[in-house]
Amino acid sequence: MDSSEISPSDRKEEQPAAPLPLPAAFLEFLGENGLDPMLYSMADTIPRYIRLKPGTESRMVTEIETELKCDLTKVSWLPDFYAIPPEIQIAGSKAYQQGKIYGIDAASGAAIVALDVQPGDHVLDLCAAPGAKLCMLADMLGSTGSLTGVDVAKHRLAACRTMLQKYSLGDRSRLFVADGTSFSILPVNSNLRSMEGYIVTEEGGSIFSEWTSKRLWKDRQKSKKANSAGSPHPTSTSEPELIYYGKDSGLVGLQKHYVLRPSTDEAACTSGYDKVLVDAECTHDGSIKHIQKFEFWGWKTLDRRVLEAERTGNLLHLQLGLLRNGFKLLKTGGSLVYSTCSLTVAQNENVVQQFLSQCPSAELLKIDSEDSWPCRSGSIEKTLRFDPATSQTSGLFVAKFVKLPS
């Protein structure tokens, strides 16, 4: 290992850090979940991580170092990842603007590596926005297979579309605004393409032509109409809305009606996704840099944005619903990664336990690269936990499942 690599055993020197003035409700939440508030004093000591787009020549590292005015320290346990000091901003840099680097925490990178995407895979990201993991998935996929991103928040998914286009990663991708607990559109794989009816031979059928941003105008008109008619934002009963598809996503030339029809559980077992990521909505309490930002945003908003859903109990229901539906869309033999950036047992091990008790075809899998990662085991065997103290990363829980024949 060269001297500029960051390895699992590297630790920042102990620095006395001022505790964040966390609000009482959040402290109470931490107490109830057995979490140490001192964790939030580490936000300024854990590095920021960037990923170099594969194919970016290594001479770029020196160029980026000159531009950012800091060292890029290679992360020994994660290919293409570098650590930079936490105070460095990348958004103004040429390397970022030209799409050569993107910011993504190393623990998030590990969750993607855990999914073990292979060329030709059909991959589903069920909670895709704002899209750092989606970009990495597209990178891993390369020039075969397909990537489907879903998110319930349209404006957030639009940010994914911008990212995919900026990093030239969108050709094999499609993006749906939809509720991930009920989304049921399968990938377009060779089985589907060869089935009668999918391809329109005569003129005039409703087929997917090449995607163009002009659709955005049409979309706007459609949603204006819907809004004036008093329609709500997407809910579990709304139709999925396709807001982007790339030229090699498999859709061009196919009949819309067939491609967009809901699938059955049986069809998913044979023609479903090879890999599914459920990076579920959560209280974000493990994302200590995110929590730190509430010092500027106002601690009152933390109460509303972080704790409200948790208090009502809706969140656990949503997480289980996302995991269940993501698993349903997996083909037999396929695998799913469930992750959250919460450190609580309730949103992680408990959800996993409940899911396993309800779904006999699901089995936890050991994550291959785990032995070389600076993480610890969750309280259920084969699940993993990254946290600032152990991993010098944000907090992340990761569990991997395989779908057995039922």
Ligand X SMILES: C[S@@+](CC[C@H](N)C(=O)[O-])C[C@H]1O[C@@H](n2cnc3c(N)ncnc32)[C@H](O)[C@@H]1O
E strand or H helix at 4: none
Nearest CB to ligand X, comparing residues 35 and 127: 127
Nearest CB to ligand X, comparing residues 70 and 153: 153
Strand duo 173-177 + 330-340: pairing: unpaired
Q: Which among 127, 282, 341, 375 is annotated as catalytic?
A: 341
Taking the C-alpha atoms of residue 234 and residue 223, their distance in angstroms, rounded to an integer, is 11
User: x/- binding map, residues 276-305, to ligand X, per CB under 6 A?
Assistant: ---x-x------------------------
CA 375 to centroid of chain Cα atoms = 19
User: x/- binding map, residues 20-39, to ligand X, per CB under 6 A?
Assistant: --------------------
Taking CB under 6 A as the binding criterion, the range among 60-68, 122-130, 184-192, 352-360 that sits at the site for ligand X is 122-130
**Distances in whole angstroms, Cα of residue 88 to Cα of each of 71, 216, 344, 389:** 10, 35, 29, 21
152 touching ligand X, by CB under 6 A: yes
Tokens at residue 56, please? 């970016």
Is 279 labelled a binding residue?
yes
Torsion angles phi and psi, residue 247, rounded to 5: -70, -25
The DSSP code for 130 is T
Taking CB under 6 A as the binding criterion, the range among 121-129, 218-226, 367-375, 387-395 that sits at the site for ligand X is 121-129
The residue count of the chain comes to: 406
Identify the bridge partners of residue 91 per DSSP, sorted by sequence position. Answer: none
Taking CB under 6 A as the binding criterion, the range among 60-68, 152-160, 186-194, 397-405 that sits at the site for ligand X is 152-160
Is 179 labelled a binding residue?
yes
156 touching ligand X, by CB under 6 A: yes
128 touching ligand X, by CB under 6 A: yes
Tokens at residue 16, please? 């006395």
181 touching ligand X, by CB under 6 A: yes
127 touching ligand X, by CB under 6 A: yes
How many residues touch ligand X under the rule CB under 6 A: the total is: 19
The CA-based angle 149-151-157, given to 5 degrees, is 80
Nearest CB to ligand X, comparing residues 221 and 314: 314
Closest CA to 401 of 367, 357, 350, 351: 367
Strand duo 273-279 + 122-125: pairing: parallel
From 133, 161, 172, 328, residue interacting with ligand X (rule: CB under 6 A): 133
Q: Is 70 a catalytic residue?
A: no
Residue pair 116/125 in contact (Cβ under 8 Å)? The answer is: no
139 touching ligand X, by CB under 6 A: no
From 109, 170, 180, 272, residue interacting with ligand X (rule: CB under 6 A): 180
Taking CB under 6 A as the binding criterion, the range among 23-31, 129-137, 214-222, 345-353 that sits at the site for ligand X is 129-137
Nearest CB to ligand X, comparing residues 115 and 207: 115
Residue pair 99/167 in contact (Cβ under 8 Å)? The answer is: yes
Phi-psi region of 46 (alpha: psi -120 to 50; beta: other; left: phi over 0): beta
Q: Which residues contact 273 (CB under 8 A, 6 or more apart)?
A: 122, 123, 124, 148, 186, 187, 329, 330, 331, 334
Nearest CB to ligand X, comparing residues 150 and 254: 150
Taking the C-alpha atoms of residue 53 and residue 179, their distance in angstroms, rounded to an integer, is 30
From 129, 185, 268, 352, residue interacting with ligand X (rule: CB under 6 A): 129
131 touching ligand X, by CB under 6 A: yes
Least distance from ligand X to the Cβ atom of residue 21, Å: 25
Edge-to-edge, what's the strand order for the sheet holding 48-52?
A: 5-6, 73-75, 81-84, 48-52, 101-103
Nearest CB to ligand X, comparing residues 73 and 181: 181
Residues 334-373 that bind ligand X (CB under 6 A): none
| Helix%, strand%, coil% for the chain, nearest 5 | 35, 20, 45
Give binding residues for S-adenosyl-L-methionine as ranges.
151, 179, 279
Residues that bind ligand X (CB under 6 A): 108, 127-133, 150-153, 156, 179-181, 279, 281, 318
Which residues belong to the active site?
Answer: 341
